[in-house]
Amino acid sequence: MRVLLTGATRFIGSHVTRIVLGEADRVTVTVRRGSDRSRLREVLGKVELLEMDLSDRDADQ
């Protein structure tokens, strides 16, 4: 199973990331440029980071 998580650098999102890591084959998390990633420190080698701001309509351009 592949999972894409948003909000992984925030409190709830970081906990959900850890839970999903135990169930999924591949986990990708979105992070904003310059965001505090300290809550993801323990899982950085286990997840794929996708740096983007989902509130930016032109982010995929």
Number of structural domains in the chain: 1
pLDDT tens digit sequence for 2-61 = 999 999 999 999 999 999 999 999 999 999 989 999 999 999 899 999 998 877 777 665
- What is the predicted pLDDT for the residue at 42? 92
SS3 assignment, position 25: coil
Q: In what order do the strands lie in the sheet containing 48-51?
A: 2-5, 26-31, 48-51
Q: Residue 47: is it exposed, middle or buried by C-beta count within 10 angstroms (0-12/13-18/19+)?
A: buried
Is residue 35 in some structural domain?
A: yes
The predicted pLDDT at position 60 comes to 61
Domain hosting 46: range is 2-51
pLDDT on residue 23: 92
Counting Cα atoms < 13 Å in the Cβ hemisphere of 16 gives 14
In a domain, 57, yes or no: no
